[in-house]
Structure 1
Amino acid sequence: MRPTVWTPRQKRTVWLDFKTGRGITDNGSTVRPKIGERRKNPNLTDLLDTAQALGAERIMLTGKVPEVAPGKAHWLIVRTPGWTPGGHWLNKPVTGRFTHDVSGQELEVRTAEEWFGLDELTPTQARDAWSLTGTALAEAVPGAVMFLTPAGTGANAWALSLPKSIDPPTLPGDIAEELHLTSGQHRIEHLTTGPDRCDCGACLPLVDAEATPTLETFSYVDGRFMYAGVCRELGTGPARRLTGSHAADLLELDPYARARFKVRVTVPGDWHHVGLFGVKHEEISAGWHYPNQPGTTWETWADGAEIKIARDAGWIVHPLEAVEFTKARVLDTFADRMVRARERVNAAPDAEPEVRRAAAAALRSMLIQTIGNFASRIKGRTVTVWSARDVPADYVHTIKRFGDAWTYEQPGRPHTERTLPYYRPELAAQVWGRARARVLRGPTGLAGVSGGVLSMDPSTVLGINGDAIYSTVVPSWALPTAQGGGDDGKVGRLRLKGVLRNVPTPRRADERNVLRAKAEAVGVPGWEADV
Structure 2
Amino acid sequence: MDSKAYSGGLAELRGLRDEIKPLLRDLAKLQAEVAKLESRRDQRIAELGAFEKAKADRIATSAGVSVIDVVALVPSLGPQGAPRAPVAASAIDSATEDLSEPQTAAQPIKEQAGTPAPDLRPAAQPTMPVVETVSEKDPDLEALEVPAATVASVAASPTTVTPPAAEQERKLPSIPEGQSGDRWFHAERDLASKRPNFKQDARGMAFLDTTTGILVWQGGTVRLDLGQASVAEILTAVYAVAPTSVQRIYITAGDPWHQTSERHAFLKDAVAEWLNGPLPEGWGVESSRGRDRQAGHLVHQRNPVGRWQRGDQHTEIRSVGEWFDPEGADPATVRAAFVELWKALRAAKFDDVVIMGSPSQTGRDLWSRTIPSKAGAKWADGFPVMSQEIRGLLHATAGQGRTELIAPPRVPERVPGWYEVDRTFAYAKHTWASGVGVPQRITAARFAAMSEKEQTNALFAPSHWQVRVTIPKDWNHVGLLPAPAPGERAWHYPYEGGRTFTTWAGGAEVNLALRNPIAPWRIEILDGLLWESGDPLKSWSTQLRKAWQSLRAAAELHGDEQQKQACRLASRAVRSILLYGIGTFAQRPRITTGSLELGTDGETPDLPDGARLTGITDTHVTWERNQGFARDQYAHPEWAAGVWSAARAALLSVSTSSKDPATGKPLKAGALHLPAGSVLAFRTDAIYTSAPVEWPYGGEPGDYLLKGRMAWEQPAPGSDDEFYFLQALGRQALESEGL
What TM-score, normalized to structure 2? 0.63
The equivalent of 1:255 in structure 2 is: 459
- Residue 149 (str. 1) matches residue 358 (str. 2): yes
The equivalent of 1:18 in structure 2 is: 210
Runs of 4+ off more than 6 Å: 524-528
**Pairwise CA distance, 1:76:** 5.0
Please, which of 453, 457, 469 is the counterpart of residue 265 of structure 1?
469
The equivalent of 1:90 in structure 2 is: 299
3-state SS of the aligned residue for 1:174?
helix
Asked whether the equivalents of residues 610 and 626 of structure 2 are also in contact (C-alpha less than 8 Å), the reply is no
**Pairwise CA distance, 1:526:** 7.6
Query: Which runs of no fewer than 5 residues in structure 1 stay unpaired?
Result: 194-204, 478-485
Please, which of 347, 351, 373 is the counterpart of residue 553 of structure 2?
347
TM alignment of 1:305-324, pairs within 5 A: 305-312=508-515, 313-324=519-530
TM alignment of 1:71-150, pairs within 5 A: 71=266, 73-75=269-271, 77-78=273-274, 79-82=277-280, 83-86=283-286, 87-91=296-300, 92-100=302-310, 103=311, 105-140=313-348, 141-150=350-359
**Pairwise CA distance, 1:325:** 0.5
Please, which of 675, 678, 688 is the counterpart of residue 457 of structure 1?
675
Which amino acid in the other structure matches residue 80 of structure 1? P
1:297-327 Cα shifts (integer Å, max 9, x gaps): 2211111110111112321110111111011
Q: Which moved more, 1:298-307 or 1:499-508?
A: 499-508
TM alignment of 1:82-481, pairs within 5 A: 82=280, 83-86=283-286, 87-91=296-300, 92-100=302-310, 103=311, 105-140=313-348, 141-164=350-373, 165-167=377-379, 168-193=383-408, 206-208=410-412, 211-212=413-414, 215-248=415-448, 249=450, 250-284=454-488, 287-312=490-515, 313-348=519-554, 349=558, 352-377=563-588, 379-387=590-598, 389-392=604-607, 394-395=609-610, 397-401=612-616, 405-412=620-627, 415-416=630-631, 419-420=632-633, 422-444=634-656, 445-447=658-660, 448=665, 449-477=667-695
CA 1:526–1:143: 2 relative to 1, 3 Å: farther
Which amino acid in the other structure matches residue 316 of structure 1? R
3-state SS of the aligned residue for 2:385?
coil
**Pairwise CA distance, 1:160:** 2.0
Please, which of 22, 26, 31 is the counterpart of residue 222 of structure 2?
31
Asked whether the equivalents of residues 222 and 495 of structure 1 are also in contact (C-alpha less than 8 Å), the reply is yes
CA 1:523–1:339: 2 relative to 1, 3 Å: farther
1:271-297 Cα shifts (integer Å, max 9, x gaps): 122111112223315x11111122322
Question: CA–CA distance in 1 between the matches of 2:222 and 2:591?
Answer: 33
Asked whether the equivalents of residues 471 and 521 of structure 2 are also in contact (C-alpha less than 8 Å), the reply is yes
**Pairwise CA distance, 1:217:** 2.0
Asked whether the equivalents of residues 247 and 261 of structure 1 are also in contact (C-alpha less than 8 Å), the reply is no
Question: CA–CA distance in 2 between the matches of 1:137 and 1:522?
Answer: 34
The equivalent of 1:492 in structure 2 is: 702
Question: CA–CA distance in 1 between the matches of 2:531 and 2:253?
Answer: 45
Question: CA–CA distance in 2 between the matches of 1:154 and 1:257?
Answer: 26
Asked whether the equivalents of residues 440 and 529 of structure 2 are also in contact (C-alpha less than 8 Å), the reply is yes
CA 1:401–1:511: 2 relative to 1, 3 Å: farther
3-state SS of the aligned residue for 1:255?
helix
CA 1:378–1:306: 2 relative to 1, 3 Å: closer
The equivalent of 1:200 in structure 2 is: none
Asked whether the equivalents of residues 514 and 521 of structure 2 are also in contact (C-alpha less than 8 Å), the reply is yes
CA 1:403–1:21: 2 relative to 1, 3 Å: farther
Q: Which moved more, 1:372-381 or 1:323-332?
A: 372-381
1:26-82 Cα shifts (integer Å, max 9, x gaps): 33x1133243xxx4x533321121233322322100124266664465145232232
3-state SS of the aligned residue for 2:697?
coil
**Pairwise CA distance, 1:226:** 0.2
Question: CA–CA distance in 2 between the matches of 1:437 and 1:402?
Answer: 45
CA 1:166–1:132: 2 relative to 1, 3 Å: farther
Q: CA RMSD, aligned part only?
A: 2.5
Question: CA–CA distance in 1 between the matches of 2:394 and 2:710?
Answer: 40
**Pairwise CA distance, 1:186:** 0.5
- Residue 507 (str. 1) matches residue 715 (str. 2): no
Which amino acid in the other structure matches residue 356 of structure 1? C
Question: CA–CA distance in 2 between the matches of 1:64 and 1:468?
Answer: 29
3-state SS of the aligned residue for 1:443?
strand
Whichever of the two has the greater Rg, that structure is 2
CA 1:518–1:356: 2 relative to 1, 3 Å: farther
Question: CA–CA distance in 2 between the matches of 1:48 and 1:252?
Answer: 61
Which amino acid in the other structure matches residue 209 of structure 2? D
- Residue correspondences, number: 494
3-state SS of the aligned residue for 1:184?
coil
Question: CA–CA distance in 1 between the matches of 2:210 and 2:327?
Answer: 10
3-state SS of the aligned residue for 1:124?
helix
Question: CA–CA distance in 2 between the matches of 1:114 and 1:318?
Answer: 41
CA 1:77–1:7: 2 relative to 1, 3 Å: farther
Query: Which runs of no fewer than 5 residues in structure 2 stay unpaired?
Result: 1-191, 287-295
Identity %: 28
CA 1:462–1:241: 2 relative to 1, 3 Å: same
- Residue 520 (str. 1) matches residue 731 (str. 2): yes
Asked whether the equivalents of residues 680 and 688 of structure 2 are also in contact (C-alpha less than 8 Å), the reply is yes
What TM-score, normalized to structure 1? 0.86
Please, which of 53, 57, 70 is the counterpart of residue 247 of structure 2?
57
